[in-house]
Amino acid sequence: MTSYVVAVPATTGNLGAGFDCLGAALSLYNRFEFSLGSELQIKASGLYGKDIVKDETNLIYTSLVKFFEHIDLPVPFISINIEANIPMARGLGSSATAIVGGIMGGNLLAGSPLTQKELLDLAIEIEGHPDNVAAAMLGGCQLSATRLDGSWEICPISWHPDIAIAVAIPNFELSTAAARAVLPQTVPMADAIFNAAHLALLTQALSKGNAQWLQTALQDRLHQPYRESLIIGIKDVEKAAIACGAYGMVISGAGPTLLALGHPKNINAIAKGMVLAWQGANVISTTKILSIASGGTTCNAN
């Protein structure tokens, strides 16, 4: 019996000023194997396999169900094997991998009736915003904006090879709901203008690899100042990262993972500095040196 393996990269959303509209795919993957079966069966392995829900509430499965509802076909019995390498509730897009993986797996099992654009539209509908799912599906760095008719324009942003990525993942979770609950309903006009300018500069800084521009562009006033109170030691980690050569540091997605950008020759020192700073705040963390996953989601038949 044919099975399909779908590999979906982790993502980082926002990158500072790009709140809910900018996302980048990272070189860390969850893998999902789908096959038809006689009953629903979900198995999980990998570093975070023990954290995976293995019943009909699993987000991979519920996304697959929404795919079949979307194409107006009954949901078949499915066997799903999950290799979970991305931590949950850490701001690295684990939910986006589940949504993209579920609908891509469903599409393969159904004979691929939907185009990539149709699949992406469905993923955005399920997720509620495009930044993580667009990057996860398409790869690279993606900027999303609404067209006049309300549909989505997805624009790839070049990422210069001299910009390396270090993430520090703490040993505590932060739900997206909790991170959104601290955000204000309105912001001052000055803050909106600040973010518009810094996002525009960020897109240029990423494509050119301009260190001076990045140092300025990674600032934000829409979400990070409100979320800092939820992440113990964040200011100490940021100071350490910059002291070790980082252009700047941002909250990855909704957090609590912190992401620093720097030149490749400095990135290992940056990662070490972030871990040591968090240790000073009695937070245990792990670091990963990652690159941009330019290929996005990949699918293969077994």
Residue pLDDT, tens place only, 71-129: 999 999 999 999 999 999 899 999 999 999 999 999 999 999 999 999 999 999 999 88
Residues 18 and 121 in one domain: yes
pLDDT tens by residue, 236-265: 999 999 999 999 999 999 999 999 999 999
Is residue 302, in this structure, part of any structural domain at all? no
Residues 9 and 110 in one domain: yes
Pairing of strands 78-83, 4-13: unpaired
Residues 146 and 169 in one domain: no
Is residue 282, in this structure, part of any structural domain at all? yes
User: Of the residues 157, 190, 222, which one is the last residue of a structural domain?
Assistant: 157
pLDDT at 176: 86
pLDDT at 1: 67
Residues 148 and 32 in one domain: yes
User: Of the residues 92, 125, 157, which one is the last residue of a structural domain?
Assistant: 157
In CATH, what number is assigned to the domain containing residue 77? 3.30.230.10
> Is residue 286 pLDDT above 80, yes or no?
yes
Residues 123 and 145 in one domain: yes
Residues 151 and 170 in one domain: no
pLDDT at 302: 82
Residues 251 and 153 in one domain: no
pLDDT tens by residue, 196-228: 999 999 999 999 999 999 999 999 999 999 999
Is residue 298, in this structure, part of any structural domain at all? no
Share of the chain above pLDDT 70, in %: 100
User: Of the residues 124, 157, 190, which one is the last residue of a structural domain?
Assistant: 157
Is residue 126 left, alpha or beta, with left meaning phi > 0 and alpha meaning psi from -120 to 50? alpha
Range of the domain at 267: 164-290
Q: Into how many domains does the chain fold?
A: 2
Read off the pTM.
0.94
Residue 2 pLDDT level (bands cut at 50, 70, 90): confident
Is residue 300, in this structure, part of any structural domain at all? no
pLDDT tens by residue, 147-178: 999 999 999 999 999 999 999 999 998 888 89
Neighbours of 123 (CB within 10 A): 26
Q: DSSP per residue over 73-115, as a string?
A: -PPPPEEEEEE--S-TTSSS-HHHHHHHHHHHHHHHHTT--S-
Is residue 296, in this structure, part of any structural domain at all? no
pLDDT tens by residue, 11-69: 999 999 999 999 999 999 999 999 998 999 999 999 999 999 999 999 999 999 999 99
In CATH, what number is assigned to the domain containing residue 206? 3.30.70.890
Residues 23 and 57 in one domain: yes
CA dist., res. 205 & res. 198, Å (int): 10
Listed in sequence order, the residues at least 6 apart from 48 whose beta carbon sits closer than 8 Å to its beta carbon are: 84, 85, 86, 87, 88, 94
Judged by DSSP in three states, 192 sits in helix
Residues 228 and 110 in one domain: no
Residues 74 and 104 in one domain: yes
Listed in sequence order, the residues at least 6 apart from 92 whose beta carbon sits closer than 8 Å to its beta carbon are: 10, 11, 12, 26, 28, 86, 167, 169, 252, 253, 257
Is residue 212, in this structure, part of any structural domain at all? yes
Q: Which tokens is 28 given? A: 């860390």
Residues 261 and 122 in one domain: no
Residues 274 and 240 in one domain: yes
What average pLDDT does the structure give for the chain? 96
